[in-house]
Structure formats: C-alpha cells, structure tokens
Amino acid sequence: MSGHSPMVSLRIPEDHLLAIDQRVGFDGMRNRSDVIRDAVRRLLEQPLIGHGEKIQVNLGPELTILMRDFCKIHAESPETILKFAARDYIRRESIEGMSVTRLLQKRMDELSARFDDDSNAQR
C-alpha cells in the first residue's frame, strides 16, 4: 500500500476479531490491518445491487475443495461462479421445461385432430 492512509477506529465483535487473527499470516496478510483492508477492498469491488438476495449455500467438503481449486485456476470468486451456474441452470431448465410443454401441447393437438369432439370416434 502506497501513500498515507487515514486511521479509522471501529468496533467489531470478538468472534470477528478472532477470525481476523486466524487470517493473519495467510495470503501475504501481515497483520489485522492487512486483513481488514483486503476485506474492505473486496467489498468495494462488488457492484452495488439495488435488489437481490444473498443466499448462503453449504457446498459440503468435496464441492468446497472443487470450488476453491476452480476459483484459483480461473481467478474468479465463488459468488461469480455460483451466479453463472444458477443462471445457466435456470435457463436450461426453462428451455427444457418449455420444450416438454410444447411437445405435450403438440401431442394433445394431434390427438384432438384425430377424434371427433362429439362422438369420440376416430375421424
């Protein structure tokens, strides 16, 4: 970090402070200030969203490891990966759902065309 940075005081819960202390020494974090600056930087890099819901997902141990490795390789955040995955899943299911609905409607139209509505007799 270059230049002079103003000092800011803040109060945080003790459990958060303990979690911050656990991160000191990892990823080049030399002290609490480095950890907090990194957290603030990451927060400010995220776009402001007027609406939207934050959802926490427990990925389980296996998927957590896969996600961590994938994010390192592709330099993406888990949030970005999950947003793309959700969007793709919803799009795919919607397309497949629409296809099934269209196929069912087409089949119903074919059956209706083959039978007379009054007598249920085949035409």
Does the model's pTM come out above 0.95?
Answer: no
pLDDT range class, residue 90, cuts 50, 70, 90: confident
Tell me, yes or no, whether 115 and 64 share the same domain.
yes
Tell me, yes or no, whether 111 and 58 share the same domain.
yes
70 located within any domain: yes
Tell me, yes or no, whether 41 and 60 share the same domain.
no
Burial of 23 (0-12, 13-18, 19+ CB in 10 A): middle
Residue 122, strand partner residues:
115
Tell me, yes or no, whether 80 and 104 share the same domain.
yes
Tell me, yes or no, whether 56 and 115 share the same domain.
yes
pLDDT tens digits for range 6-38: 888 999 999 999 999 999 998 888 999 999 999
Domain containing 33: what range? 11-45
Mean pLDDT over residues 93-119, rounded?
76
Residue located via tokens 């945080």: 12
Q: How many domains does the chain have?
A: 2
Distances (CA, A) of 36 to 54, 87, 109, 115: 21, 31, 63, 73
In the structure encoding, which two tokens stand for residue 67, read together?
């996600």
- 76-89 in b/e form (b: 16+ CB < 10 A) is eeeeeeeeeeeeee
Tell me, yes or no, whether 33 and 57 share the same domain.
no
CA distance 83 to 9: 34
Tell me, yes or no, whether 90 and 70 share the same domain.
yes
